[in-house]
Amino acid sequence: MKVACAEILASLPAEWPESLLPEIAGSVRRSRKKIIVLDDDPTGTQTVYGVPVFTEWSAEALRELLADPRQIGYILTNSRSLSGEEAQELSAAIARNLLAAAETSGKEFVVISRSDSTLRGHYPGEVDSFIEELGEAFDGILIVPFFFEGGRFTIHDTHYVQEAASLIPAAETEYARDATFGYHNSDLRKWVTEKHCGRISPSEVVSISIEDERRGGPECVARRLKTVSGGQVCVVNAASYRDLEVFVAGLLRAEAGGKRFFYRTAASFVRVRGGLAPKPLLSSRELGVAQRNRAGGLVIAGSHVQRSSAQIADAAALPGVCCLEVCVEILLNPGTRSGEIARVAETADGALRSGQDTLIFTSRRLAVGNNSAENLRIGNVVSDSLVAIVQKIDERPAWIVAKGGITSSDVATKALGIRRAEVLGQAFPGVPVWLTGDDSRWPGLVYMVFPGNVGQTDTLAEMMRMLRNANGDPTC
């Protein structure tokens, strides 16, 4: 049942009175441990800045990542596009390579498994697989889906998604009806039981409450975490960044006392665990770092959630935009797929060359299979087709926006050949901006990763206006 956001937030105790980021940043520096973020799609970079993203995970690449002097490094796994078995195999392979890289480099690390703030992903499979391959015991597994930028709050163990002025329990949203990662419980303790197929009862799941954070502070959190043992699952409530600061400060104190935890979290946790201060949104001037050219910008949209569809419709109404709908029904027919790819790519190439911003989006009617494996197959066909379209475009765009997690990952790695990228920051809350590396197809290109479930109806259109300004468009 939806509740008034302002009302429920007002009912909570007052926030902890002081910022704990300086304490956290000092602890992170003193630990000298690299924070490795395993990101199951590229949207997990939506709270950080000045950090590298690697899209490969060989032992050699991971040695390079561990040697990077910055405290945080991302590995883009895109495991959400895989089957459960494939995701577990990938997780184990990364763990093996990370152990090998750490052994030769002498660098210690901690791992954050970053996943969706609306609770979709391969949990607990890929977490269990990684831990098993590490061969080390953890006292607890922390579940922290709070994501302020996207309006995701956990209060009294219930995880909420904000819609306008209301908070909706996550299990009552369209995200819980995901064809592959659906679920029935908004109470995180019950959600854990559901995802563990009943092997863990709700009463066995530890909870860190907002009252612990706001009334007890870091010491209370540390005391509570010191009672966690034997790989217990612990869910974390948070309704603000200050709550998260209190939790992380207590977590670091508990870890300094010898406790070990594995983190399964949304993106907000990464910034706080890394001790990064908040950074203002990027301006048009800051986005002008890429080489300016006369070509138009390119938007590739594959996300099918309602919010994405509304944003696509709003952006399509902008003057001078070339709108190209890709028919999913045609793509799913092997005999007609190549023709549809060629049609869209040829038209887009001409529009970009003439200076038109070009919006390529999949037809809005969702194709659904008979089971989760079939749904993954359909999703992969569509994503591979979008990749093929971008690969056939010869004209370098002024910038690229990729809408949707799997879409943005596949376009980045397969169409653009990105192996390394730099996270510049965020253009809008929850929308990260990458700068492509020298080894990519188009080096020095502004690449914006736009999650399907983030932003307001006009956010995509506003982003396109902003990027036109960054490219020196005189009509803006």
Same domain, 60 and 105: yes
In this structure, are 28 and 119 located in the same domain?
A: yes
SS3 category, 373: helix
Does residue 445 surpass a pLDDT of 50? yes
pLDDT at residue 374, rounded to an integer: 80
Write down the pLDDT at residue 290.
45
122 belongs to a structural domain:
yes
Distance CA 417, CA 160 (A): 37
Examine residue 475 and state whether it is found in any structural domain, yes or no.
Answer: no
Can you name the residues that pair with 232 across neighbouring β-strands?
140
Co-location of 214 and 318 in the same domain = no
- All residues at 6 or more sequence positions from 51 whose CB lies less than 8 Å from its CB, including other chains: 45, 70, 72, 73, 74, 422, 423
Counting the structural domains of the chain, the total is 2
Q: Sorting pLDDT into bands at 50, 70 and 90, what band is 406?
A: confident
Confidence of residue 31 (pLDDT cuts 50, 70, 90): very high
User: Is 434 within 8 Å of 424 (Cβ atoms)?
Assistant: yes
pTM, rounded to two decimals: 0.90
Domain final position from 225, 252, 273: 273
Whether 213 and 320 map to the same domain: the answer is no
426: pLDDT strictly greater than 90: yes
- pLDDT per position as a tens digit, 163-212: 999 999 999 999 999 888 999 999 999 999 999 999 999 999 999 999 99
- What is residue 102's predicted lDDT score, i.e. its pLDDT? 96
Per-residue pLDDT, 451:
85
pLDDT of 472 > 70? The answer is: no
What digits encode the pLDDT tens for the residues 77-123? Answer: 989 988 999 999 999 999 999 999 999 999 999 999 999 999 999 99
In this structure, are residues 300 and 391 in contact, taking their beta carbons and an 8 Å threshold? no
Domain CATH code at residue 214 = 3.40.50.10840
CATH code where residue 422 lies: 3.40.980.20
Question: Residue 143: enclosing H or E segment and its boundaries?
Answer: strand 140-144
In this structure, the answer to whether residues 301 and 210 fall within a common structural domain is no
Instruction: Judge whether residue 459 has pLDDT over 80.
Output: yes
pLDDT at 10 over 90: yes
* pLDDT for 233 beyond 50: yes
To which H or E segment does residue 298 belong? strand 298-301
Residue 409, in any domain of the structure: yes
Q: Are residues 412 and 315 in the same domain?
A: yes
> 278 in a domain, yes or no?
no
Mark whether 265 and 164 lie in a shared domain: yes
Indicate the pLDDT class of residue 413, thresholds 50, 70 and 90: very high
Determine the pLDDT at residue 436: 95
pLDDT for 289 = 46
Q: How much is the average pLDDT of 336-357?
A: 96
| DSSP alpha helix (H) spans, 335-404 | 337-353, 372-392
Q: Which of 110-144 are b and which e, b meaning 16 or more Cβ less than 10 Å from the residue's Cβ?
A: bbbbbbbbbbbbbbbbbbbbbbebbeeebbbbbbb
Report helix, strand or coil for 31.
helix
**Segment 351-380 mean pLDDT:** 84
Same domain, 205 and 327: no
Mean pLDDT, the chain, whole residue set: 93
Is 420 domain-assigned?
yes
Which parts of 34-108 are beta strand (E)? 34-39, 51-54, 72-76
Kindly report, residue by residue over 237-268, the tens digit of the pLDDT. 999 999 999 999 999 999 999 999 999 999 99
Residues 379 and 240 occupy one common structural domain: no
- Nearest 10 degrees: Cα torsion 312, 315, 321, 326: 0
Of the listed ranges 60-64, 213-217, 301-305, the least confidently predicted one is: 301-305
Tokens of 206: 């530890």
**Do 312 and 228 share a domain, yes or no?**
no
Is residue 178 situated within a structural domain? yes
Instruction: Examine the fold and report which residue of 214, 241, 273 is the final residue of a domain before the chain moves on.
Output: 273
Q: Residues 355-367: what's their mean pLDDT?
A: 87
**Rounded (to 5) percent helix, strand, coil in the chain:** 45, 20, 35
One domain, residues 299 and 255: no
Residues 365-380: what's their mean pLDDT?
77
Spatial contact of 180 and 208, defined as CB atoms under 8 Å apart = no
Q: What is the pLDDT of residue 292?
A: 54
- Token pair recorded at residue 332: 């799913």
Express each pLDDT in 279-303 by its tens digit: 999 988 888 744 456 799 999 998 7
Cβ neighbors of 68 (< 8 A, separation 6 or more) are: 52
User: Cα–Cα distance between 149 and 170 in angstroms, integer?
Assistant: 16
Q: How confident is the model at residue 470 (pLDDT cuts 50, 70, 90)?
A: low
**Domain region containing 405:** 286-470
For residue 118, give the nearest of 299, 375, 307 by alpha carbon. 307
Domain boundary among 240, 273, 306: 273
347 and 208 in one domain?
no
pLDDT at 36 over 90: yes
Of the listed ranges 133-147, 279-293, 335-349, 452-466, the one predicted with least confidence? 279-293
Q: Is position 439 within any domain?
A: yes
Which residue's entry shows tokens 């956001």? 5
Domain membership of residue 381 (yes or no) is yes
Mapped onto helix, strand or coil, the DSSP state of residue 45 is helix
- Collect all residues with Cβ–Cβ distance below 8 Å to 203 and sequence separation of at least 6: 189
Specify the pLDDT at position 191: 98
